[in-house]
């Protein structure tokens, strides 16, 4: 295959062969000579002061090499904010290791490194912790009651200690005046449960510290630079002495944008003098990492008879877990963002309780907001007798709309997703008994930020590209497509690597749907510099002006007055003469990118309800998304399908079940029921390409918005099938059966 158009091609990913043969090295696959094992002691109480920790017995167990408690981790005092990206190190230090108090069942309290995993676990049991058990609170509605147990006295709301850690508000126009214009006003309350990201690979790391104090960390994360920065802050080792090497990552979905094990393993390695490996069990993952927030929300929408939405109000309470930081920005900011509405008021509350601290999960907060808004819109459509897609199209935000959360939209394709959905054959399939169809839309901000890249031409005229982002779903293939297209060379001639913190410039997280947007820009910038250098070298060889050389179809050609005067020079030809034309050929870029622009999607879902078992089966599912430019269509479709599947799990089954002692009762895949292969149909996708005007290839983030519409689309479909409206998730078989019983009793 020799061609030079690669953007939009379904190429085979550069890291693929390793991943289908079992050779790819994930974090838990890494070992080192002399390596020992770390294990974490976790709190048996959901809320308790730590009075004293006695490690004497544990330390004397043969095989134990080091023990760590909060005393060994750098403290960030409670009253002094210490922001790092979207996190605050005051909370991170307390999340990594309980300090004054254990704040949830499973909270790390101490850790041991020993010559085997079994000895380390045994030693953990010998650590004597003197706890003073405190009253605790798990559920959101309990945590905001006036007499609720308070987690952090320093957090105040309305002048009093409170579990409300913060608020966020967006306002546009005057909602009261707006509601006066409405012919129909519907106000409803909703709840959703916390759900876990559910990555199949548990957190793992291996850390080695040398006698001169230099640390090397192999770990599974969504950002090696985040690992380096946080580990540095929590251990006091300067960033220049930490090398964070990104292992292949077995799923993250936002859950690996923070660290858990790395600083603990680093201190254990420092103290023991051995490389230390730590791997979480699935139970640890479920008890002590992630999830995303549970929520309570209230949404009020006013519309005129013709469907014009005149005023909206939304209040969103989100569970943060035990430390502040729930995604209220995503909930309050994205909820109404698909619509052009004159009067908007949106308010988010960040609420702590005795559960594990939430972590980002695919469009954090946005699915929660959309669940409420898109459900009320369905009821408005029914009340005024309008097709729900037509209602959305009538109110769709378009180029020039000013969103309540701030921006004025550039050219984007939300309306196109609705038009495509209206026309699509799926929307016309006839439905049978107990079957129903639902629709919903969604928005996600997307993100830019810092990315670095290096593009080097090898001596034999091929290309090696290095970027700084862990590849969670095929981004290396997309980077290779872009580079091959810009250079006009075969895709096979481009290798793409992920650099570690010592070999590539700072690059922010793989998250926010930012990777291909930002690293695509850095790679484009670097490749353009390389092309300029190639033209200059051809000019030297031909002894003409560089401006008289063009780069086309993978070769330098004399242009203008010199056109046709010289034989074109290929990349190989110029690489071969690099030494005489100025030395090595390569260029890098370190950018702070802007202009990511939001992503919009509309989903149609058909369900069938088994009224004997209460099971909701997904019959058909089609997602329509403005994807900007699909650089590698298969991996764009993959993002859309993966997000939908997670949404189906969130809507229908997934939830944490806490027992009366404040302990999670279902910390495993058997009882925390994520969708399996036989639960799902094929997930159809329609990619609509409205190029992002602010990106050289037109890229728009695509990874997150697919999780925004499903919750409401499924809920609306169930209404269409049964005539029953649900206001809480999950709509699991027992819940559906109960609702069916109630509705039968009412008849």
> Footprint of ligand FES on this chain (CB under 6 A)?
200, 251
Cβ 449 vs Cβ 610: under 8 Å: no
**Could you tell me the sign of the dihedral formed by the alpha carbons of 545, 550, 551, 555, in that order?**
negative
Which H/E stretch holds residue 272? helix 262-272
Residue 704 engages another protein in binding (rule: CB under 8 A): no
In angstroms, what is the minimal distance from the CB of 681 to another protein? 9
Query: Judged by CB, which is closer to ligand FES: 24, or 35?
Result: 24
In angstroms, what is the minimal distance from the CB of 665 to ligand FES? 20
Rounded CA-CA distance 73/615 in Å is 48
Query: Judged by CB, which is closer to ligand FES: 200, or 565?
Result: 200
In angstroms, what is the minimal distance from the CB of 282 to another protein? 4
Cβ 231 vs Cβ 205: under 8 Å: no
- Which partner from the list ligand FES, another protein, none does 44 bind, CB cut-off 5 to 8 Å by kind? none
The residue nearest ligand FES at its CB is: 200
Per-position x/- string for 609-638, each x denoting binding to another protein as judged by CB under 8 A, each - no binding:
-------------------------xx-xx
- Which partner from the list ligand FES, another protein, none does 253 bind, CB cut-off 5 to 8 Å by kind? another protein
Query: Judged by CB, which is closer to ligand FES: 229, or 472?
Result: 472
How many C-beta atoms lie closer than 10 Å to residue 584's C-beta? 12
In angstroms, what is the minimal distance from the CB of 510 to another protein? 11
Please give the full DSSP string across 433-499, using - where no structure is assigned: TTEEEEEEEEEE----EEEEEEEEE-TTS-EEEEESS--SSSHHHHHHHHHHHHHT--GGGEEEEE-
User: Which residues have C-beta within 8 Å of that of residue 50, sequence separation ≥ 6?
Assistant: 70, 98, 99, 100, 101, 102, 109, 129, 130, 131
Rounded CA-CA distance 743/747 in Å is 6
Query: Judged by CB, which is closer to ligand FES: 16, or 691?
Result: 16
Rounded CA-CA distance 249/567 in Å is 47
Rounded CA-CA distance 341/397 in Å is 8
In angstroms, what is the minimal distance from the CB of 639 to ligand FES? 12
Per-position x/- string for 668-697, each x denoting binding to another protein as judged by CB under 8 A, each - no binding:
xxx---xxxxxxx-xx--------------
Query: Judged by CB, which is closer to ligand FES: 16, or 251?
Result: 251
Residue 119 engages another protein in binding (rule: CB under 8 A): no
Q: Name the one residue in this structure whose structure tokens are 């593009």.
A: 455
Rule CB under 8 A: choose which of 251, 273, 546, 586 binds another protein: 251
Query: Judged by CB, which is closer to another protein: 237, or 358?
Result: 358
DSSP β-ladder status, 64-69 and 108-114 = antiparallel
Task: At 295, give phi and psi (nearest 5°).
Answer: -150, 160
Cβ 591 vs Cβ 521: under 8 Å: yes
In angstroms, what is the minimal distance from the CB of 156 to ligand FES? 42
Cβ 287 vs Cβ 36: under 8 Å: no
- Which partner from the list another protein, ligand FES, none does 696 bind, CB cut-off 5 to 8 Å by kind? none
Query: Judged by CB, which is closer to ligand FES: 1, or 676?
Result: 676
Which H/E stretch holds residue 121? helix 117-126
- Residues 11-70 binding another protein (CB under 8 A) are 12-13, 15-17, 19-26, 28-29, 31
Stretch that binds another protein, among 10-18, 525-533, 535-543, 593-601 (CB under 8 A): 10-18
Which among 60, 73, 77, 62 is positioned nearest to 111, based on CA atoms? 73
Cβ 305 vs Cβ 226: under 8 Å: no
Query: Judged by CB, which is closer to ligand FES: 200, or 408?
Result: 200
In angstroms, what is the minimal distance from the CB of 287 to another protein? 14
Output the six-digit token pair for 441.
């839309």
- Which partner from the list ligand FES, another protein, none does 171 bind, CB cut-off 5 to 8 Å by kind? none
Query: Judged by CB, which is closer to another protein: 561, or 682?
Result: 682
- Residues 191-220 binding another protein (CB under 8 A) are 197-202
- Which partner from the list ligand FES, another protein, none does 527 bind, CB cut-off 5 to 8 Å by kind? none
Beta bridge partners of 190: 297
Cβ 412 vs Cβ 435: under 8 Å: no
In angstroms, what is the minimal distance from the CB of 31 to another protein? 8
Residue 253 engages another protein in binding (rule: CB under 8 A): yes
Return residues touching another protein (CB under 8 A). Answer: 10, 12-13, 15-17, 19-26, 28-29, 31, 197-202, 248-253, 279, 281-282, 472-474, 634-635, 637-638, 641-646, 668-670, 674-680, 682-683
């Amino acid at each position: 295959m020799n061609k030079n158009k690669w953007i939009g091609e379904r190429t085979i990913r550069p890291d693929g062969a390793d991943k289908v043969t079992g050779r790819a090295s994930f974090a838990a696959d890494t070992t080192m000579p002399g390596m020992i094992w770390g294990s974490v002691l976790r709190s048996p109480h959901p809320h308790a002061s730590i009075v004293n920790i006695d490690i004497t017995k544990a330390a004397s167990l043969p095989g134990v090499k080091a023990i760590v408690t909060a005393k060994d981790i750098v403290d960030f005092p409670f009253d002094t904010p210490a922001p790092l990206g979207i996190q605050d190190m005051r909370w991170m230090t307390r999340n990594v290791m309980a300090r004054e108090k254990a704040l949830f069942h499973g909270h790390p309290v101490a850790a041991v490194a020993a010559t085997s995993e079994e000895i380390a676990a045994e030693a953990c049991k010998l650590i004597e912790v003197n706890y003073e058990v405190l009253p605790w609170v798990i559920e959101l509605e309990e945590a905001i009651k006036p007499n609720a147990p308070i987690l952090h006295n320093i957090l105040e709301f309305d002048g009093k200690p409170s579990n409300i850690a913060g608020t966020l508000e967006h306002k546009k126009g005057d909602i009261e005046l707006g509601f006066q214009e409405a012919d129909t006003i519907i106000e409803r309350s909703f709840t959703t449960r916390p759900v876990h990201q559910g990555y199949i690979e548990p957190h793992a790391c291996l850390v080695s510290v040398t006698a001169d104090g230099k640390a090397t960390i192999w770990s599974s994360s969504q950002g090696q630079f985040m690992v380096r920065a946080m580990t540095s802050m929590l251990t006091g080792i300067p960033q220049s002495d930490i090398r964070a090497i990104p292992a292949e990552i077995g799923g993250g979905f936002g859950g690996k944008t923070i660290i858990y094990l790395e600083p603990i393993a680093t201190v254990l390695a420092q103290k023991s003098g051995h490389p230390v490996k730590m791997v979480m069990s699935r139970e640890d993952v479920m008890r002590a990492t992630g999830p995303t927030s549970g929520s309570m929300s209230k949404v009020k929408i006013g519309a005129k008879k013709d469907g014009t939405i005149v005023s909206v109000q939304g209040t969103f309470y989100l569970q943060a877990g035990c430390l502040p930081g729930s995604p209220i920005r995503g909930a309050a900011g994205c909820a109404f963002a698909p619509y052009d509405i004159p009067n908007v008021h949106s308010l988010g509350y960040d609420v702590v309780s005795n559960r594990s601290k939430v972590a980002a999960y695919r469009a954090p907060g946005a699915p929660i907001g959309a669940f409420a808004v898109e459900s009320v819109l369905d009821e408005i459509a029914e009340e005024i007798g309008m097709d729900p897609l037509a209602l959305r199209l009538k109110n769709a935000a378009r180029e020039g709309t000013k969103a309540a959360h701030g921006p004025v939209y550039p050219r984007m394709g939300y309306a196109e997703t609705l038009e495509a959905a209206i026309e699509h054959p799926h929307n016309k399939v006839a439905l049978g008994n107990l079957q129903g169809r639902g629709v919903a839309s969604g928005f996600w901000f997307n993100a830019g930020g810092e990315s670095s890249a290096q593009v080097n031409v090898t001596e034999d005229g091929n290309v090696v590209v290095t970027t700084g982002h862990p590849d969670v779903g095929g981004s290396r293939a997309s980077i290779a497509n872009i580079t091959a297209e810009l250079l006009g060379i075969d895709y096979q001639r481009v290798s793409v690597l992920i650099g570690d913190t010592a070999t590539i410039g700072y690059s922010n997280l793989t998250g926010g749907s930012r990777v291909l947007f930002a690293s695509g820009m850095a790679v484009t910038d670097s490749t353009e510099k390389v092309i300029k250098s190639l033209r200059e070298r051809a000019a030297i060889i031909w002894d003409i002006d560089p401006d008289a050389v063009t780069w086309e179809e993978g070769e330098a050609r004399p242009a203008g007055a010199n056109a046709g005067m010289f034989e074109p020079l290929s990349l190989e030809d110029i690489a071969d003469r690099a030494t005489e034309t100025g030395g090595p050929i390569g260029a890098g870029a370190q950018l702070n990118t802007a202009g990511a622009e939001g992503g919009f999607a509309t989903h149609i879902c058909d369900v069938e309800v088994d009224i004997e078992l209460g099971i909701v089966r997904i019959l058909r599912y089609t997602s329509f998304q403005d994807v900007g430019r699909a650089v590698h269509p298969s991996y764009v479709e993959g993002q859309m399908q993966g997000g939908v599947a997670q949404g189906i799990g969130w809507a229908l089954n997934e939830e944490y079940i806490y027992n009366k002692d404040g302990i999670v009762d279902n910390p495993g895949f058997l009882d925390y029921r994520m969708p399996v292969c036989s639960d799902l149909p094929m997930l159809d996708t329609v990619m609509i390409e409205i190029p992002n005007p602010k990106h050289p290839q037109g890229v728009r983030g695509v990874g997150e918005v697919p999780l925004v519409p499903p919750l409401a689309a499924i809920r609306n479909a169930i209404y269409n099938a049964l005539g029953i409206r649900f206001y809480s998730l999950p709509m699991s078989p027992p819940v559906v059966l109960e609702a069916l019983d109630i509705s039968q009793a009412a008849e």
